Amino acid sequence: NENDQLKVALKQKEYEVQARLDDFEEAKNKEMEIYVRQRETLEVSMSNAMDATREKAQREKIELISEYSNDINRLKEALEMSVEKSVVESLEERTEELQQRVMWMEPRLSDRSKNIYK
């Protein structure tokens, strides 16, 4: 009879809707898993990039300090050996340049580190 047919049709529709909901839920869960994996990958990449930037900045700073130290040693040797005044002045100028470069690099390196966290 017609009532039974309507009940069967309704049950069929409920089944179809539930199947579509289940499919949607499964697709949503897969998308969420993909999103979480991508986010984790991005976080690792960001962390690695920050570490690499810090390491590079540290290496640059060490190189500048080493260069500065070498020039200071040369200046001391020049003074000890009573080398001509022009050589001493040249080394002093170089030392001042290196001091300025170190002072210029420190805030720049700090700014670079801050930009990474933005």
Q: Where are the domains of the chain?
A: 2-116
Distance CA 70, CA 76 (A): 10
Of residues 99 and 50, more confidence is placed in 50
To the nearest whole percent, how much of the chain has pLDDT over 70? Answer: 86
What pLDDT, on the 0 to 100 scale, is given for residue 112? Answer: 63
Of residues 80 and 53, more confidence is placed in 53
Q: What is the mean pLDDT of the chain?
A: 88
Of residues 100 and 78, more confidence is placed in 100
Question: For residue 83, is pLDDT > 60?
Answer: no
